[in-house]
Each structure stands twice: as C-alpha cells, then as structure tokens.
Structure 1
Amino acid sequence: MPGDFLPPLLLLALFGLTRACLQDPASAYRFTGTVCRLTYPAAVVLNEKTTKVIEAAFQHAKYPSMQGEKSLLFVGKVSYGLDNLEIHNLSIGRSQFELFPGKGIGLEISNVSAIFKGTLQYGYGSWLVNVAQTLDFEIDSQIDLGINPKLYCGKGKVAADTSDCYLTFHKLRLHLQGDKQPNWLKKLFTDFITFTVKLVIKGQICKEINKLADILADFIQDTAAHFLTDGDISVDIGVTAAPVITANYIESYHKGLTNYKNTTSVIDNSAFHPSQLTEDRMLYLWFSDELFNPLIAAAHQDGRFQLNISSNELTELFKMSLSSATPEYIEQCLAETATPELRVWSSSVPFVNTSTMGTAVWGQASGELFCGGQSTPTLSFITDVYVDVKASYADKKLLLHSKVNEISVINAELPSQNKQVYDESEIEFIREAVEKIGIPKVLSVLEVEITRLMDKQGANLFDIINPEVLPRDGFVLTQMDFGFPHHLLVDFLKRTLQ
C-alpha cells in the first residue's frame, strides 16, 4: 500500500504517556475515555509530507570522523581518516508503507540521492615509497531506505522499535579532488574506503531516524497535551493499551482523565467497542460520557459557567415576544434603568448523558437581575434545566443546537422587597424567559467561547473537512477527513533545527 514514514510517528506521539499498559486491548476498553482511529486514506495525505521528515533525518545526522588502517598489496599499510562529512544536493524519490495486522509497519523510501563532501587524510608506505596527503573528496550516493518499526508499550508510553532499519546502496562512489577517473592505486584505495563509509552512513541514518521518532513523539504529545489544557484544567491522554494495527487502520486507546488542581477523575466503565467505529472516514475520535462529566464538573468548580448581560444587550434580549406577561418590576427595570444587569451561573454541577437523541444536559441555573446599580438584586431565581444539545462544526466554528425537555422554577424571590414570588403568571414568565431567551443566549456564548478556546489551541490551523459529531448511547463520535496540518510540520522542523 502506498504510504509513508510519518503516520506511525505521528500516531506514536498522539498515543501519549501512561503509567501502565494492559497487554490485551479488549481488557483496556472499559478504562478508555477516548479513542483515536486513523485509517488508510489519512496516510495518503500524510504521505505528501514524508520527504521533509526524511530530509531532516539525513541532513541532521552527525557523521563522525573515521580513522583506520589497511594493508594493501604492493603498497603496504595504509592509514586513513575522513573528517567534516556533510551532505549536499539531497533529493528524495517516493515512499511506500504497509500495515501488517498485529505486527507493525513496513516502510520503504526509495531513490534517496545525495552527495557527501568532506576531507580525506591518508598515508601509505613501503621500503620503496612513503606518502602522506590531505584531499577533499565527494561521495555520490543513491540509496533505498527500509524501516519496519514495531509499536509497543515501554517506559510509560507507546514506543517504536526502529532497530529493523536497513539501507540499500545502488550507488556509492568516492571521488578524490573531483577526480572522476582515478588511477588503479587510487581506485583500490577508494573502493576500500567506500565499504567503510557505507557502514557509517547506515548506522548514522538509522540512529537519526530513531532520534527523530522520539523528538516527533514528544512534540506531538506536548502539542496534544497543550490543546487539552487550559488554566488548572487538563486531560491525561495516556494510553490504556498498545495500539492495534489492522490492514486498514491504526487505533489507540487513551485514558481521558480530567485533572483539576489536585484531583484526577476515574474511568472504569467505559462503553467503547471497536465495532462502534467504521473505516469510511480518515479520522475518528471517540469520547465517553465518563470523560465529559468530570471535565464539565471541573469547569463548574473553576467558575467557568458564569455570564453577565447588561445595558442595551439585555434590553434587546427581552424585546423577544413571549406568551407570558412581563412583570411590572422587570419592565420598569429595563425601561427606566440605564444599566440593568442580569447575572446567571450554574449553581450545581451539570450532568450529561448521551444517546442517539443528543446529549442530555441536566443542571441547575441561578440568576439575579440588578437595576440601577443597586447592590441588592430586584429578582433572584433558581431553575432546574433539562436540555438535549447537539454539536456540529462548520467554517471553523462550533455550533450548538438545543431542544428543551423540561424547565422548572424551584425558587424565585424579590430580595429588595424581602418576599417570595408565588404568582403563577410571574413564575411562568421566568420559566419561559429561561427557555426562549436564556438558553439560546448561553449556548451562543458557549459557541463563541469554545471556538475561541479551540482557536487559541490551534484547531483553526487544521484543514478539517466535512466533520460530523454523532451522539450515541454513552459516547460521542466525531468523524472527519482532513488536510495535513502543515503548521505542525513547520513547527516540528523548527524544533529539530534548533
């Protein structure tokens, strides 16, 4: 199958860190908060960037100085040293890769052409002649590169064993001082040194590939961890088992544990099963309700669910036509007060439960209406809210769609008058205002704020194509195609060049 060197390294990085990996993926499912499946079509896109990574491997390999000696017929003992080996005129042909189910990945990068330049010091002697010289040299090369990495759990993360690395040299010729037609003695000498150079180049290139795999893994893990971190809230993306490789995709299983200050959530009853994902799209991200609920709880505890609406914006909102009559004290507040203000917040930890109907959200919302800069609210209320919410993503913006199931006012009072609100018409007004004004406003603010947070973490730099957010029983499945995030490659190569 056509493919490249980059997908397994990207996946290796995305799999993240973990304290322990279960040997059997099936036994790890119930501890898994999120799953990533990258299918073969995604590898086709990633393949476009392969040459940049291979170039980095060749160009940043440190080729050591080489010294040795050899006895040659008619010449005697020859000593040599090669120094300042550098690579020039590098070009990459094409790459292929194949997924071997349950085993690993086969990678082939063909027609790597380069010129190595450096300095040769040599000396040889006998009873007839004694010579010592220093010459510049060039090595023309044409190489095929093969790697068969194995992915496994090691040292607290999914690691890649790239020890099965080989180079096939179709051409490797050493020329002294640009001499393309060396005499028999130089040819005998250069043929001998060329064999040594082959071993050094192979060792250094394979070593650099292993190094790049580690750097890329750390880079993508850092990027993913940063994306899932804001303030005191973060998500542990460590894996619960080694990735599963089939002929059509690579799948990884992540903890998805919320960290907030000194607490960490627990997942031990996840609903995941591989049959819940298909192979039609390039990328699948599976999220358990057991991931969302601790994350929402942390946001609630961190005071994220608060909203203040004031002045003209508040007045405009209440111009919406409602079937319930507006209480006189609210009309007076909005009409006669220059700076009315409504403060709303979540007064209990929201809870979500996802089904094919959407994500059902239960929560308690409180609100206070202030008029004319007063320190005591004119109206104070608490409502229980039960809403189905569906999400979509288009034009690099999050969109939230709601269907109200139930809203009940469990308390309402007029603190400035020191009395409870018992009038049924006023209670109905508050309930209707929460349904038709409050919930749409809160969702519109959440759309903007979550989009802003995603953009802050770099989501808008990805070319996400036709994303779908599908609610299912106990989980949300996001599936999409994508264009390679070029900025990630640029950032990675910048780090590599440092």
Structure 2
Amino acid sequence: MARRSLLLVVLVLFKFSSCCLDPPEAYRFTGAVCRLTYPAAVVLNEKTTQVIEAAFQHARYPVVEGERSVGLGTINYGFHNLEIHNLSIGKSEFELKENVGIGMTISNVSAVFKGTLNYGYGSWLVSVKQSVEFEVVSQIDLGINPKLYCGKGRVAADTSDCYLTFHKLKLLLHGDRDPGLLKRAFTDIVTFTVKLVVKSQDQAEQFLSDGSIGVDISVTSYPIIKTNYIESYHKGLVTYNQSTSDMSHSVFHPSQLSEERMLYFWFSDDLLNSLLGAIHKDGRFVRNISGAELTDLFQTELSSPRPELLSKWLSSEAPVLQARSVLSVATHLQSTPEGTSVQAVAGVELLQEGQDDPLLYFETDVAVTVQASYAEKKLILMATGQNVSITKVSTSDGATEIANSLRVYLQEAVEKMGIPKVISYLEPEITAVMDEHGLNLFDIINPIVTHQNGYVVVQLDFGFPQHLLVEFLKRTLE
C-alpha cells in the first residue's frame, strides 16, 4: 500500500524520462546532476510516517469502474470518492544496495479506506443495481526491494520483488453489516482495486518552465546506486521559442562531488549559459527607475564629480532611467574557482516624461564576477566588477564634447551604482522563481555554492519540518 508514497520523496528529487545511456557515456551529455547521500536517506526514512500520511491525506484518487463475470451474469461496479483515513505506521527501515536497488521494510501499517460503491448484477433472468458506502479496514506489513531501470524511454522503479502480509482485511458496507453472497463477492474486488488505485499515484515531472523558457531535466542515464548515495544525471537542455540548446561537451565526472553533505546539485556552464541567453533574448533584463528610487540612486557618493548637465536632466520633470540588455549582443557566462564571470552589454537611457527622444543614451560593456549563496530562504549574490567600459554616448543636443565629458562619470556610476542596483533586482526575482518550484518549502541547512572550471556545485543539508513536508506533498500531488 505504502510503496509508491515512500518512493515519492526520493523520486521527486530525480525527475526521470528520456533515453538512457551507461553513465560514463552519458556524462558529456549531462547538464545537471543530483546526488542524494546516505545521511539524507536516513532523514527521509525517519520521516516515512509523515510522508505517507501527508501523501494519502492530499492525494486525489480517480474513479475506478469495471466488470466481472459471475455465474451466468455480469457484475458491473464503480468506486467513487475513495479516501484513506487513520493511517498509522509502526516502523520503517531501509538499505541502499550497491548496483542493485533500495531495500525497504514497513511494518504494522494500519489504514481505513472509505468510498462509495455502485454495483449491478445482470443476467437473462434478473437485473439488480445498488449504491452503498463502504469501508475497508486493513493492517499489513510491506517489504519491497525496488530496482531502478531504464525502460520505454524513462527510468522506472521495478517493485516486483516485494511481499505484502495482511494481518487484517475487513469490508464493511454501511446500512447492511451482514452482506449476502452478492455483496461478499466484492471483498476481493475492493481489495484488488484499492491496491491498484494507490499504486497509480505516481508523479514524475520532466520539464521545468517559467513563461516561454523551459528546462528539460529528463535523464541521460539510469541512476547509480552506491552504499553511500544515489546519483542521477539530467540533460539540462534549455528551450526557447521552439529552439533547444545543445549539450554534448559537459565536463562532469563523479569525482567532482563528495559524500559529506546530504544533497548535491551539479550544474554545467552550458546549462547556465543557455539559460542566461534565453532570459536575455526574452527581453527580461529591462528595468525602469523613477521618482524617489531614482533620486536615492544618484545620492551615491562617487569620486568623479557629477556633470552639471546630468544634474539638470535629473531635476527635470518626471525623469525616468531605463536600463536593458542590448539584444544584438549575446551575454556570456563562465565559471572558475574565483566565481562565475558574466559578460553583457547594457543600454541605458534617461528620458523625460512625455518625450520619446532620450536626454541621454549610453551603452556599457560590463564583466562581473558573481559569487552566490543562500540564507534565510533568499538568494544572495555578491558581484565584483572586473571590467566596465562606456562604448557609446549620445545626448539630446548631439554635442560631442559634452558626451565625452560624461564618460568618466558614467563608468564609475555603472560600477558603483549600476551593478549593485541590478543585483538588488535579481536577488528577489530569482528567489521568487525558485519559490514557485517549492524550494522555500524545504528546511535548507548551511548551503554552499562552489564555483569551478566549467561548472557550479550546490551542496547542502536539509530537514523536513512537518508543516513544510505536508505543504510540499500537497503541491506535488495536486
């Protein structure tokens, strides 16, 4: 009964699908890797009771209909409004079996299944139809040794090696506590159907998306199971406007991950670059600054004096500063041990309300090194400007000497005002995207982001506070 629910928390961390190669062959096609270590599995097993209870509490079960031949006639039946109540678990144990699977034993599981049973019996002689409320009271032990394999283009769990021992199985039909022969025939049908319905609760998402941008996280190989961890390999292909990025020269190797922390995520520069490029092409790097926010921005002290003409423009009626990435120039990202370097060209214009022509327009070529961290459920970015240059300046009056006098000031303004301002926008927006996918529902402990040549590793420990666990599973099963 509980096997799909117990596997849910593990499998939801490993989104399975697509064709599968042997791991060494799949490495160069791998854009993202997830490693779940033994300490994490211990935490998951400790929370087995809450996982199963929360999963069954929030799962929605389909209507099940069918028929069965009995004697000279046919029984037609349907089960509606199936619910599971009073679920309790005595004990749960597990073992990671290297290159084999996961050994699980769940003892003394008690539950009550409730629903509506519609049935009818028809033959050449008689026709009977009836609808009753039913309960199935059960108490079982479950042993299961799931093996992860690749079949029909996706990785699945083979649960054929299992046993199910019923200590109690009793059918109660409301309104008639002493059912006749016809109703007793439904005991086997109900028991069998309940197993099928519970087994059908299998969720596996293969595609993450935000607007027109998507990331294919289907696997490139079957998961590796060691005595100390489970590891899965994912494509990490970015899709945008019906085009898909390429992933064929990944630098991943298992030695790049350790086993000290509970959970590891590995991301290739190819994945991060493609994602950055899609966001750039989608025109998301645009921001308007006006009013008090604009005034406060230019209160930042710089060593270069502010040109009088710029002060005049800023004091004009309702000035608006618009910053955006220049679409004709591609952005680029590269990770090294010092951090992740991002190169981009931004266009900035200062407008006056009601006018189409900008008072000031300039383009800046920026290279920054970014270090990322995560604390109190918020993304934190530390950016250091490596190179800032002003490549183009134009003003409303077209005076070249005025434009040249602005360059020195604008270069310092971009480095000390512009870059921090952009970071202040990116942090909450990226955090919001991560929260939409449920990251804030986990109790993340001491996460560390490590930048290396061609990839980024995120390592962390985690916990499952009860309220977060219930909310996470509620979303997963909706």
Say yes or no: TM over 0.5. yes
Q: Distance in 2 between matches of 1:303 and 1:116?
A: 52
Instruction: Please point out which of 384, 387, 395 is paired with 1:403.
Output: 384
Offset at residue 278 of structure 1 (A): 1.5
- Structure 2 CA distance for aligned equivalents of residues 441 and 361 of structure 1: 16
In the alignment, structure 1 residue 92 sits paired with structure 2 residue 89: yes
Distance 1:170 1:372 in 2: 78
How far 1:424 moved relative to its partner? 5.6
Give, as a single letter, the amino acid of the residue that structure 1 aligns with 2:37: T
Gaps of 5+ in 2: 118-133, 173-183
Number of residue pairs aligned between Structure 1 and Structure 2: 446
Q: Mean Cα displacement is larger for which, 234-243 or 474-483? A: 474-483
- Measured against aligned partners, the alpha-carbon deviations of 1:112-142 in whole angstroms (never above 9, x if no partner) come to 24679999xxxxxxxxxxxxxxxxx999864
Say if 1:254 and 1:300 are closer, same or farther in 2 by CA, change over 3 A: same
Distance 1:250 1:313, change over 3 A: same
Cα distance in 2 for partners of 1:469, 1:426 equals 38
- Is 1:246 the counterpart of 2:226 in the alignment? yes
Determine what percentage of the aligned residue pairs are the same residue: 50
| Residue 19 of structure 1: how far off its partner (Å) | 3.4
Matches within 5 A, 1:258-273: 258-273=238-253
**Closer, same or farther: CA 165–56 of 1 in aligned 2, 3 Å:** farther
Q: Is the 8 A contact 2:91 2:108 kept in 1?
A: yes
User: RMSD between aligned alpha carbons?
Assistant: 4.1
Write the mapping of 1:228-239 to structure 2, written as runs, cut at 5 A: 228-239=208-219
1:341 to 295, 313, 320: 320
Tell whether the 8 Å contact from 2:441 to 2:472 is kept in structure 1 after alignment. Answer: no
Q: Which residue of 1 aligns with 2:434?
A: 454
Question: In the alignment, which residue of structure 2 is the partner of 1:375?
Answer: 356
Change (3 A) 1:323 1:448: same
Residue 282 (1) aligns with residue 281 (2): no
Deviations 1:193-223 (A, max 9, x none): 99x97x87886566455423x3x33xxx17x
CA distance in 1 between partners of 2:443 and 2:145 (Å): 30
Instruction: Quote the Cα distance in structure 1 between the aligned partners of 2:135 and 2:343.
Output: 72
Is the alpha carbon distance of 1:88 and 1:316 closer, same or farther for their aligned partners in structure 2, counting shifts above 3 Å? closer
TM-score, scaled to structure 2: 0.80
Structure 1, residues 342-384: CA drift from partner, whole Å, max 9, x if none?
1111112211101111110111111111245432212211111
Structure 1, gaps ≥5 residues long: 70-80, 120-136, 176-192
Aligned to 2:146: 149
Aligned equivalents of 1:139, 1:372: Cα separation in 2: 71
Give yes or no for the alignment of 1:486 onto 2:453.
no
| Higher gyration radius (CA) | 1
Supply the AA of the counterpart residue of 1:469. V
1:91–1:68 CA distance, 2 compared to 1 (3 A): farther
Secondary structure of the 1:242 match is coil
Mapping 1:47-196, distance limit 5 Å:
47=45, 48=47, 49-52=50-53, 91-113=88-110, 142-170=139-167
Q: Work out whether residues 263 and 461 of structure 2, in 8 Å CA contact, stay in contact via their aligned partners in 1.
A: yes
144 and 67 in structure 1: CA distance in 2 versus 1, 3 angstrom threshold: farther
Is 2:312 aligned against 1:332? Answer: yes
Cα distance in 1 between the residues matched to 2:403 and 2:113: 89
Q: For 1:146, what is the secondary structure of its paired residue?
A: strand
| SS, match of residue 200 in structure 2 | helix
> Which TM-score applies when normalising by structure 1?
0.77
Tell me how far apart the structure 1 counterparts of residues 135 and 391 of structure 2 sit (CA, whole Å): 85
CA shift at 1:402, angstroms?
Answer: 0.9
Which amino acid in the other structure matches residue 441 of structure 1?
A: K
Q: Once the 2 structures are TM-superposed, how far is the Cα of residue 430 of structure 1 from its aligned partner?
A: 0.9
Given that 1:105 and 1:149 are in contact with CA atoms closer than 8 Å, whether structure 2 keeps it comes out as: yes
